[in-house]
Amino acid sequence: MADFVLAKLPPPFDKIDSWIFDLDNCLYPASTGLFALIDERMGAYIQRLLGCEAAEAKRIQKYHFRTHGTTLAGLMKEHAVDPHDFLADVHDIPLDRVGANPRLRAGLGRLPGRKFVFTNGNAPYALKVLERIGIHDQFEHLHDIIAADLIPKPNRHGYDLLCTQFGIDPTTACMVEDMAQNLRPAKALGMTTVWVDNGSEHGNHDADPGHVDVRVADVAEWLDELLGDAA
């Protein structure tokens, strides 16, 4: 990792020793539209799988997302889809929309404590994105959907596995997510929660005060404000 000076943080972040970040639409701007490319490939995959038209594939895709947490979870349960085949296919997208973010890298480098990525995507894709941003070496571990036994957020299973595997005390951990619903189990475990409200949820107002501690628009900007000139 780069040789950054670690900052002393204000409450409630002064107690945090583990930082858990989502990836898509969180560590890069939702405005890049990167996840839209994945969404398109999911639709195409369903069309081939079921021999249906695009509109029907989209309906099925969103039904599974709402009902099972991810499209993959629903396809596995109802259509016996091979998860490895699905993940490799839908994440095979160009990453030219994502670029280096030195500001984010500097902020992550100054955060005191351990840092993790927790994503419903798969590790090969996530690592490529992190490399594009220039922050892949800022994290101790990348906890993907495979590491979570193919059980997606917001199911608590993956959260428990991450905490157990790496000895994370949830009461001294912070989770940063663009999907407010994924912060509910984190808060239930005792984590400090940060919702990245950047428009990626398209009007989903599931961010009630019961499970969101802090609401921000951009991770790099928030880290700048949080860290300030402290040393």
Query: What pLDDT score does 207 carry?
Result: 47
Q: Which domains does the chain have, with CATH numbers?
A: 13-29+100-227 (3.40.50.1000), 34-90 (1.10.150)
- What type of residue is 202? H
- Identify the residue whose tokens are 């157990």: 164
Round the average pLDDT of the chain to a whole number and report it: 91
pTM above 0.95, yes or no: no
Q: Which two tokens stand for residue 219?
A: 């991770």
Q: What is the pLDDT of residues 50-109, one digit of tens each?
A: 999 999 999 999 999 888 878 998 999 999 999 999 999 999 999 999 999 999 999 999
Q: Which two tokens stand for residue 67?
A: 């009902």
Span 187-191, average pLDDT: 97
Q: Which two tokens stand for residue 116?
A: 């993790």
Span 162-166, average pLDDT: 98
Q: Which two tokens stand for residue 164?
A: 């157990």
- What single-letter DSSP state applies at residue 5? P
Q: What is the pLDDT of residues 6-50, one digit of tens each?
A: 567 889 999 999 999 999 999 999 999 998 899 999 999 999 999
